[in-house]
Structure 1
């Protein structure tokens, strides 16, 4: 790497010319002796937005029953932008349809990129003069959302970054210094994980033949376009017969479904998948639930019931993690933390109804997350997936209306 910490004007000229030649980010990084991540960050931060001729048309307008007149206050509203902007280089330069395209566009303009970077550098090093009015204004935005609705700071920032006028790191710094009304006790606690213990599987070997985690990776590599989901159960008490949760998470979108089961048995799990198949119809079910990964819990032993091996066609393919290796389905394990924000560990699920769970699922999947590029799981669903999810009765919640604690069940 070169000795310049920041990308220079000459570097930006090279970036612009290589984008026009449709070179990859790795080729651009080699040309100016920078890291690929730095090039990606430079283009995303300093690109220029151009309003399209289609206005603020929603990307879901064809699926919506409200008609062509889009309401920007709709919870599902999302600007209709070109699909090419989803992947590198995230700008329209070099596209053969640029001259005729009527959608919203992003351009990488050298002069603008230089200006944006310079202003950002100056603002980051300038001592911010926050008077009482500014602090009060920021508190009015943050306090009701974080203290009353228990939203995370990253979720609030993704929705109100323009109004706040500060970076996320600056907000954390102000909270640490006690400048704002909220404090660290109002923010979600950081989770510390215990060291994994070694376990031996009590699962029958016959069940796992051809369905191990190694088989799972090989099958996914062979069917790389298939929809992969993880599923698990969450218990409230270890003793007695209590209701449990069956959780299902789609890897691509991190969208999580939660269902209330009266008992933790193979019959209850299979019955729930049978119900989903009836509601979605077999073809839609097979597309949505193609490859499943779960642990070695006894409630998942009925492979025949899950996959429907007695039929002519299997409805899905089930695979199992290695013994004591729940991290192999880490996405759903991590997502269980959201459930515990509504229902603390050790608290019974017996008083909850299906409507309570559906309401909780809507709010969990409407939380904006930094690792999803400041989008919610609802926004990460494809059009076809969203349509099927809506058939099950789920709908997104407006960002400011998201509640992340047990008070949700009292509304």
Structure 2
């Protein structure tokens, strides 16, 4: 007996089905024998019907409904017609001839009514040896051969016409070469593409599109990251602000908005560094170019946001800030309080060597690295270029956001005017570029 966990029927299952059909068992009984639903058995039998146009030992195949009382002779004009019957009985009837169905103007086909209902086959029929009508059988070995051939054929080749391929290539390849993912393209061009994401990946693997796997942002394998030397900081600033403290605080304030902060560095030939600000509630990321990776530059960036947003909106958006233990975040009081000594946020720190505790911002950094790859100097960057880069990144459609962009969600939560204050613009889906060419 097969286990329910196997999706496909085995040869043993099919042999059991054939034997059970021979014994006249129902689909329910057969399903219980092989551990499958009766509908599975029914579909299997109907999908692998073996049609046979055979007669009996003494009478050939003849499905004409008039065959038993027909007295017509020599309709086709063949002298050899009914030779055996004439030899034994001295007379020839067209009902004995295989050409009767072709030449007789009165021919009407009769079909066995039993084949219109379960089990749809003649395997258990007691009249099969004397029947001259068309027959249907279930043959386990033939059914399994057909199944294996169908399975094999379905996994070979590309089922698409050259015209359809050209049409898809014209839509897909330019957008892929702009740095967009297959998911992004499918979500924003579904009505034109009309195939699923897996199919497009198969086409790319087969090499039939102009764009190749090398053009996909996450298909190329990169070298393993080199470990960085840990920067030692004053541990006193972490007291009362550890990740454990953060979790306890959030249990008491589950509705507070959490903003993750981190730094993205270029090569050593430039001191410029990016401060990234990630809003967990909408996955939007801001980035600010700093001349040096210092605690003062972080405070200046926070003060800048506080100024352009205003106290009320800043306090609403930045209720909690979660950062790593880098030296640039070692002045929490300057971040938490404004120049008048009023609290504007709460700062907490991840545990050492635990980037997963703010994994969302780490993942979103991948978008930045598509445009500004590692080992690229930040010397050429300006804040305008950074704003352009973040507008393209935040306009990107993401599956985890229910196929919306971070810009759309941010505008929903805080308004389009706030996005404008932060120099973020919505970029049309098919104009998004996530490649270094964007900043050239």
Question: TM-score over 0.5 for the alignment?
Answer: yes
Write out per-residue CA displacement over residues 111-146 of structure 1, whole angstroms, 9 at most, x where no aligned residue.
xxxxxxxxxxxxxx8997411110000001011111
Per the alignment, residue 403 of structure 1 pairs with 433
2:292 aligned with 1:226: no
Write out per-residue CA displacement over residues 347-404 of structure 1, whole angstroms, 9 at most, x where no aligned residue.
1112111111100000000111122222111122253423422222212111001001
2:244 aligned with 1:214: yes
2:376 aligned with 1:347: yes
The higher relative CO (CA closer than 8 Å, separation ≥ 6) is in: 1
2:403 aligned with 1:374: yes
2:318 aligned with 1:289: yes
Write out per-residue CA displacement over residues 268-323 of structure 1, whole angstroms, 9 at most, x where no aligned residue.
11011111111111111111111111111111111111111774531110000111
2:248 aligned with 1:258: no
User: Which runs of no fewer than 5 residues in structure 2 stay unpaired?
Assistant: 8-153
Q: 1:392, 1:198 → 2: CA distance?
A: 32
- Normalized against structure 2, the TM-score is what? 0.61
Distance change in 2, residues 1:226/1:196 (3 Å)? farther
What do you get for the CA RMSD once the two structures are aligned? 2.6
1:135-150 aligned at under 5 Å gives the runs 135-147=165-177, 149-150=178-179
- Match of residue 204, structure 1, among 213, 234, 237: 234
User: Structure 1 stretch 280-289 or stretch 388-397: which is displaced more?
Assistant: 388-397
Q: 2:370, 2:230 → 1: CA distance?
A: 31
Per the alignment, residue 153 of structure 1 pairs with 182
Q: 1:269, 1:189 → 2: CA distance?
A: 31
Deviation at 1:328, TM superposition (A): 0.8
Q: 1:262, 1:198 → 2: CA distance?
A: 21
Distance change in 2, residues 1:198/1:128 (3 Å)? closer
After TM superposition, which residue ranges in structure 1, 4 or more long, deviate above 6 angstroms? Answer: 125-128, 195-201
Write out per-residue CA displacement over residues 91-120 of structure 1, whole angstroms, 9 at most, x where no aligned residue.
xxxxxxxxxxxxxxxxxxxxxxxxxxxxxx
- Where 2:263 maps in the other structure, the secondary structure is strand
Per the alignment, residue 10 of structure 1 pairs with none
- Match of residue 356, structure 1, among 371, 375, 385: 385
Deviation at 1:199, TM superposition (A): 8.9
- Where 2:185 maps in the other structure, the secondary structure is helix
- Match of residue 326, structure 1, among 355, 365, 371: 355
2:307 aligned with 1:278: yes
Number of residue equivalences: 289
- Normalized against structure 1, the TM-score is what? 0.65
Deviation at 1:162, TM superposition (A): 2.5
Per the alignment, residue 164 of structure 1 pairs with 193
